[in-house]
Amino acid sequence: MAPHAEVGTGFSDGNAPTTNKDLFTVNSPNVVYTDKEINTKYTYRTTLVNETADGKFEAVPKETLYDFKVERKVPKTGMMLIGWGGNNGTTVTAGIIANRRGLTWDTREGPRAANYYGSVVMGSTMKLGTNAKTAKDVNIPFHDVLPMVHPNDLAVGGWDISGMNLSAAMDRAAVLEPTLKVQVKKEMTEMVPLPSIYYPDFIAANQEDRADNLIPGSKASLAHVEQIRKDIRDFKAKHNLDKVIVQWTANTERFAELLPGVNDTADNLMKAIENGHEEVSPSTVFAVASILENAPFINGSPQNTFVPGAIEFAEKHNAFIGGDDFKSGQTKMKSALVDFMINAGIKLTSIASYNHLGNNDGKNLSSHKQFRSKEISKSNVVDDMVEANTVLYKEGEHPDHTVVIKYMPAVGDNKRALDEYYAEIFMGGHQTISSPDDSSLFNVCEDSLLASPLIIDLVLIAEMMTRIQWRAQATDGAATKDFGNFHSVLSILSYMLKAPLTPPGTPVINALAKQRAALTNIFRACVGLQPESDMTLEHKLF
């Protein structure tokens, strides 16, 4: 086997990238810039609601004062992927190389150039405000709101149960154009994943023929945790990194059974790992190792990696975690359409979703236990939107929702997603949203090309959150608390994930508009800007 190697850091002289030059500054007494930090005093406005004895509501506006501080220095950052040799891992690695080198390549539709389309951070904008002279909106790249890592500067490495080098693995994945692959072949041939852990009961039996690059042992152990920790430390030292973000991009696991005394608390989980309990999954072992190395860990697959004990473990170590399951094609479309329909007062009564795909993810999901993990994550995406509308849906009422996934090798990575949305409208009428032939909404998703920018977004935003601290300002003579991090569970990542993980006891938000607004407005708060209201009163009062 070739020696282990990773993508170069992208730093030409071994130094950290230059700190972002501010595209804008905020002229406010509540915002102070230093060489190291942005310091902000922020007034957060919300509404508390009390229910009266006669079933009516009393709305009480509330203001809370917060201090934010953001480290301005952009750290040297690495991204380690579990499943590096899979479709997503090889695609995102080739994409970063292509962008870093400014590559172009020929296709039968004409020439193409490297880009980061599909990335919220790199491909979208945010309204900064209104031009003082022209009264037109001023929109800036999302990446320039705060000083963020650029994906071209990421060091990339990781683990895989297959020891195939990334060039060969890229060919096996059959995602990218041959004219692009030939240009990144040399670099990717030198990249070989680190050995990974493999517990056969957690992924489909049809994956066994790939499993030739393994850390010894077929069930959880402290030795596995320590080896993964060492891999993270070695990667960090090799590339002289300040931070490492770890992300699960590997196959969907079956759900781990939640058992009292096994994975219900942090202490019990560690004992279960030590004892090699059969209900500790590989992804949970990776999460525990990452937490111990203070490396944010993100789960991009639908399994229940973050059992209660894992969440408590992250909280105890003040470490960041996020998940679950990349929200790329069909589910993002579903989130948008359901949000639109219910907010328009249309009563959605059924959703039928059919998928067929031919990549290795589809092969793994042909096993029932692994499919069940995916079915749960794809089915729950409408729950909060339904619960929010008590006019359309009475207590316990919910649309029928069916999800089918079939493995069809011929279509490769070009997943076919067919949806039909059936709804009740005015005076007993019905609306069906489907394709022109009235059979389905047909969505062809080049799966890995949609997931790869999400992988990048999750890394860049998770890293950014490690540099943001906040505290509540003193009120009524109370002492001001010390600055602290956001909660260990990074719910701010929800826009990129099908089954958003939230801190215990907090609501799950699946509506795309709310998820995007939360991400945008937290970043705005960090620079002392209020949420954009879009009321445009300045255009209506003269």
Q: 340, exposed or middle or buried, with CB in 10 Å at 0-12, 13-18, 19+? A: middle
Catalytic residue among 231, 325, 361, 413: 325
The backbone torsions φ and ψ at residue 184, rounded to the nearest 5 degrees and listed phi first, read -110, 0
Please, how many CA atoms are within 13 Å of residue 30, restricted to the half-sphere of its CB? 15
Q: Are 515 and 381 in contact (CB under 8 A)?
A: no
Please, how many CA atoms are within 13 Å of residue 234, restricted to the half-sphere of its CB? 12
Q: Which of 172, 517, 93 is nearest to 359 (CA)?
A: 172
Q: Are 94 and 176 in contact (CB under 8 A)?
A: yes
Residue 185 appears among annotated catalytic residues:
no
Q: CA 330, CA 412: separation in Å to the nearest integer?
A: 16
Residue 236 appears among annotated catalytic residues:
no
How many Cβ atoms sit within 10 Å of the Cβ of residue 438? 8
Q: CA 122, CA 115: separation in Å to the nearest integer?
A: 9
Catalytic residue among 219, 415, 419, 447: 415
Max Cα separation, the chain?
Answer: 74
Q: Which of 282, 335, 311 is nearest to 498 (CA)?
A: 335
Long-range contacts of 313-317 (CB under 8 A, 24+ apart): 313/266, 313/269, 313/270, 313/288, 314/287, 314/488, 314/489, 315/266, 315/487, 315/488, 316/266, 317/291, 317/292
Q: Which of 469, 518, 513, 527 is nearest to 493 (CA)?
A: 518
Q: CA 357, CA 366: separation in Å to the nearest integer?
A: 10
Q: CA 189, CA 165: separation in Å to the nearest integer?
A: 6
**Residue located via tokens 């959703």:** 351
Give the type of residue at 150. Answer: H
CB neighbour list of residue 210: distance below 8 Å, 6 or more residues apart: 161, 162
Q: Are 161 and 215 in contact (CB under 8 A)?
A: no
Element (H, E) at 228: helix 222-238
Q: Judging by DSSP bridges, how do beta strands 194-195 and 137-141 pair with one another?
A: unpaired
Catalytic residue among 374, 419, 447, 457: 374
Residue 415 appears among annotated catalytic residues:
yes
Residue 374 appears among annotated catalytic residues:
yes
Catalytic residue among 181, 219, 347, 498: 498
The backbone torsions φ and ψ at residue 519, rounded to the nearest 5 degrees and listed phi first, read -60, -50
Residue numbers annotated as active site:
325, 374, 415, 498
